[in-house]
Amino acid sequence: MLIRPRDPGFVHPQASDITPRAVYEGRRAWLRRMAGGAAGAALAGWAGREALAQPAPPVKRAALSGTPSAVAGAMTMEKPTGYQDAAGYNNFYEFGIGKDDPARHAHTLKTRPWTVEVEGLVGKPGRFAIEDLLTLAPMEERIYRLRCVEGWSMVIPWVGYSLSALIKRVEPLGSARYVEFVTLADPRQMPGLRSRVLDWPYVEALRLDEAQHPLTLLAFGMYGEVLPHQNGAPVRLVVPWKYGFKSAKSIVKIRFAEKQPGTAWNKAAANEYGFYSNVNPGVDHPRWSQATERRIGEDGLFAKKRKTLLFNGYEAQVGQLYAGMDLQKNY
CA distances from 161 to 47, 235, 325 (A): 19, 11, 28
Q: How far is the CB of 252 from ligand MTE (least distance, A)?
A: 10
Q: What are 222's strand-pairing partners?
A: 158, 225
Prior bond of 13 cis (ω within 30°): no
Handedness of CA 123, 276, 236, 98 (dihedral sign): negative
Q: How far is the CB of 323 from ligand MTE (least distance, A)?
A: 27
Please check whether residue 192 is in contact with residue 96, taking contact to mean a CB–CB distance below 8 angstroms.
yes
Return the closest-CA partner of residue 203 out of 160, 263, 246: 263
Please check whether residue 309 is in contact with residue 279, taking contact to mean a CB–CB distance below 8 angstroms.
yes
Query: Which 3 state secondary structure label does DSSP give 114?
Result: coil
Interface residue with ligand MTE among 27, 42, 52, 91 (CB under 6 A) is: 91
Please check whether residue 30 is in contact with residue 49, taking contact to mean a CB–CB distance below 8 angstroms.
no
- From 76-84, 241-249, 281-289, 320-328, span contacting ligand MTE (CB under 6 A): 241-249
Nearer to ligand MTE, 183 or 263 (CB): 183
Residue 189 binds ligand MTE (CB under 6 A): no
Q: How far is the CB of 33 from ligand MTE (least distance, A)?
A: 26
Residue 245 binds ligand MTE (CB under 6 A): yes
Nearer to ligand MTE, 98 or 138 (CB): 98
Q: Which residue is nearest to ligand MTE (CB)?
A: 244
Interface residue with ligand MTE among 81, 189, 216, 250 (CB under 6 A) is: 250
Residue 114 binds ligand MTE (CB under 6 A): no
Q: How far is the CB of 249 from ligand MTE (least distance, A)?
A: 4
Residue 248 binds ligand MTE (CB under 6 A): yes
Residue 181 binds ligand MTE (CB under 6 A): no
Nearer to ligand MTE, 122 or 296 (CB): 296
Within 8 A by CB and 6+ apart from 163, the residues are 211, 212, 216, 217, 218, 237
* Secondary structure letter of residue 146 according to DSSP: E
Question: Which residues make up the interface to ligand MTE (CB under 6 A)?
Answer: 90-94, 146, 148, 183, 202, 231-232, 244-245, 247-250
